[in-house]
Amino acid sequence: MAREFTSVGVVGLGTMGAGIVEVFARNGIDVVAVEISDGALERGRSNLTGSTDRAVARGKLAEADRDALLSRVDFQVGLDALHSVDLVIEAVPEHLDLKQRLFAELDRICRPETILATNTSSLSVTEISVATGRPNQVIGIHFFNPAPVMKLVEVVRTVVTSAEVVADVEALCARLGKVDVTINDRAGFIANALLFGYLNHAVAMYESHYATREDIDAAMKLGCGLPMGPLALMDLIGLDTAYEILDTMYRRGGRDRRHAPVPLLKQMVTAGLLGRKSGRGFYTYERPGSPKVVPDERTPAATAPAQADGARAIAKVGVVGSGTMATGIIEVFAKAGYEVVSVTRGAEKSAKVCEAVKTSLNKGVVRGKLSEHDRDAALGRVTWSATLDHLADVDLVVEAVVEELSVKKALFASLDEICKPGVVLATTTSSLPVVDVAMATHRPADVVGLHFFNPAPVMPLVEIVRTIRTSEETAVTARAVCAAVGKTGVVCADRSGFVVNALLFPYLNDAVRMLEASYSTADDIDHAMKLGCGYPMGPFELLDVVGLDVSLAIQRELYLELREPGFAPAPLLEHLVTAGYLGRKTGRGFRDHTRR
């Protein structure tokens, strides 16, 4: 039978520590809240009362419940106040020597049966435990910020943590209303090991001027449905904290270069640009601790709403292709008021595309998203054709044909001969080099990537891909067109994966490697990323939806272009694809979908 905890101690009352105090006190457990000085204690008290007062103001907590919660907390200076508690959890800064000294003191002060827990997000629980004479009673209990809201707790056992301690802590997490995942002591655990490689990669993108900070963040929010962009998230976490986590993971996790902190990160920390806590990081904030971003000198004009200045006039658009992406793009432009010429191979395919567009527009009417008048007007703007010659007078061509370079190059060579001078030629490729397509023409300055996301009428993001030959006028026109059709255009250079795929798929590949190493289960890894990071889907859910074969192909492209060892496709992914386990499309992937 699980142990009943009646009193706990929390050491360190910063944002995380105060949040942990609130979690315990909300659930009827008496808490001894400890700080190092009277000043720090008052700041901790303020953190707790501020959080509970906000909960009352938002209707999340009754005033009587807040008062009862606060009455369960005993604020004290000094560790001696913890002599009789059942469990102590520390939330002090992420420095191993500090935590080891603290645990040695707790070992001396606390009763022999007291469980000692660390909230570390990256340090070795084992190295902390050996500072005590009771390493079998030391465990990691990693809450996520903000602790009262986030449902996930990573329970981290060392090789000597007793099974009874693990079971007791798991039962405690359930009592607190948390979802726990129990794992072994490894650098970064689950969530941080997957999250920080992705964040570090995003910083590297920004450092190399591959894309602006706003475009990187917008791409991941709008393209993947993430609650925050990576650079805004780094500011929230704190760049100093992020640096320490990455450095620890690099040193303890096999010296993977993807976890080696990007030089810019160290420079920003040295300069005191720590994120929200200091008022400035990747963004500038209204004041230290404020979430409100204010303009600063590093905000380029291009990140404001798209400007038409310098853009070519676009009135008529050609769309080449007959697949789902092509039909979606036709709908997007037609609903936005553009004249559209749809070109397919043959009358039969043209009829199918026409029917698909009509069906989609009719669904919009049924769902109340579109009036019958607007549907009919959109359809009236589309001309259906089976020959490229009808593109002679358009202002923009968007191709959405099969992802084969030879096919796209042949098409663009034909467009080069047919289209009038000054026409913007755009490819929707998601993986091929745009410059290869551009150089099939005699007008590479007019060629740009417009990577729509599927389904195009719904997804708000378009990646605008500039090659080294794309003119400024073409890029400005592409951004203006995206704004005109109600999409957010993010500009990036012509590199494999662009922004979204370049950041997303290495993260998915890392998750497969974690499963391959038998560190955790697919379900627990998915829980960790959804509940600990607020992701809409776990990595294995997403892999099954995208298709394991698609993921493997993209990961191979990234590895071949960047030659980064950490980007090499996980062998497990390759083996599953070889065996025909492709995800939902085949009924089997990382999960069995045939029984659902």
Query: What pLDDT digit, counting tens, does each position of 231-266 carry?
Result: 999 999 999 999 999 998 898 877 788 889 999 999
* Domain that includes residue 130, residue range: 7-184
Ordered strands of the 7-11 beta sheet: 73-77, 30-35, 7-11, 87-90, 115-118, 138-143, 152-157, 179-184
Q: What phi and psi, each to the nearest 5 degrees, are found at residue 63?
A: -60, -40
Structure tokens at 51: 């959080």
The span from the CA of 89 to the CA of 521, in Å, is: 26
User: Would 232 be classed as within a structural domain?
Assistant: yes
Asked whether residue 400 falls in the same domain as residue 468, the answer is yes
pLDDT at residue 590 in the model: 92
332 falls within a domain: yes
Where does the pLDDT of residue 309 fall: very low under 50, low under 70, confident under 90, or very high at 90 and above? Answer: low
- CA 486 vs. chain centroid, Å, equals 23
Closest by CA position to 505, among listed 206, 248, 223: 223
d(CA 155, CA 182): 5
**In sequence order, what are the residues at sequence separation of 6 or more whose Cβ sits closer than 8 angstroms to the Cβ of residue 72?**
25, 28, 29, 30, 31
Residue 441, in any domain of the structure: yes
Residues 385, 248 share a domain: no
Catalytic residue among 122, 192, 278, 322: 192
Q: Are residues 12 and 31 in the same domain?
A: yes
Structure tokens at 369: 């998203």
Active site residue: 47, 119, 121, 129, which one? Answer: 121
To 10 degrees, what angle do helices 230-237 and 213-224 make?
A: 110
User: Which of these, 253, 261, 255, 121, lies nearest to 519 by C-alpha position?
Assistant: 253
- Confidence at 305, pLDDT banded by 50, 70, 90: very low
Catalytic: 259? no
Q: Which pLDDT score, from 0 to 100, does residue 252 have?
A: 82
Mark out the alpha helices in 271-307 (DSSP H runs).
none
Segment holding 139, helix H or strand E: strand 138-143
Are 198 and 170 within one domain? no
| Helical spans, DSSP H, in 341-489 | 347-366, 372-380, 405-418, 434-438, 472-484
Catalytic status, residue 154 = yes
Cα angle 140, 144, 146; round to 5: 140
Mean pLDDT for the stretch of residues 353-362:
93
Could you tell me the CATH number of the domain that includes residue 265? Answer: 1.10.1040.10
- The residue type of 296 is D
Element (H, E) at 448: strand 447-452
- At residue 300, the pLDDT reads 45
Least confident of 56-65, 154-163, 287-296: 287-296
Q: Are residues 432 and 332 in the same domain?
A: yes
Q: 138 in a domain, yes or no? A: yes
How far is it, in rounded angstroms, from Cα 475 to Cα 274?
33
| 192 annotated active-site | yes
Domain count, the chain: 4
Fill in the amino acid letter for 577.
Answer: V
Residue type, 478: A
**DSSP track, 460-507:** -EEEEEE-TT--HHHHHHHHHHHHHTT-EEEEEES-TTTTHHHHHHHH
Q: What is the DSSP string of 81-124?
A: GGTT-SEEEE---S-HHHHHHHHHHHHHHS-TT-EEEE--SSS-
The pLDDT of residue 507 is above 90: yes
Answer whether residue 538 is part of any domain. yes
Residue 298: is it exposed, middle or buried by C-beta count within 10 angstroms (0-12/13-18/19+)? exposed
Hey, what are 76's tokens? 């004290």
Domain boundary among 184, 212, 245: 184
- The answer to whether residue 127 sits within a structural domain is yes
Three-state SS letters, 173-241: HHHCCCEEEEEECCCCCCHHHHHHHHHHHHHHHHHCCCCCHHHHHHHHHHHHCCCCCHHHHHHHHCHHH
Give the domain-ending residue among 441, 461, 493: 493
Give the tokens for residue 121.
Answer: 């997000």
Say if residue 201 is in the same domain as residue 63: no
Same domain, 172 and 198: no
Last residue of a domain, one of 154, 184, 214: 184
Let me know whether 201 and 131 are in one domain: no
Q: Which of 122, 129, 142, 557 is the catalytic position?
A: 142
CATH number (domain holding residue 389): 3.40.50.720
Claim to verify: residue 322 and residue 463 sit in the same structural domain:
yes
Of the residues 90, 154, 244, 463, which is catalytic? 154
Residue linked to tokens 């704190």: 238
What three-state secondary structure class fits 57? Answer: helix
What per-residue confidence (pLDDT) applies to 425? 98
The answer to whether position 337 is within a domain reads yes
The verdict on 59 and 206 lying in the same domain is no
Give the pLDDT confidence of 64-95 residue by residue, as tens digits: 999 999 999 999 999 999 999 999 999 998 88
pLDDT in tens, 273-304: 999 999 999 999 998 888 889 987 554 443 33
* 344 and 443 inside one domain: yes
- Residue 307 falls inside a structural domain: no
Residue 94: predicted pLDDT: 87
Residue predicted with more confidence, 249 or 451: 451
Q: At 245, list the tokens.
A: 């986590």
Averaged confidence pLDDT in the chain? 93
One domain, residues 61 and 107: yes
- Region 100-128: what's the mean pLDDT? 95
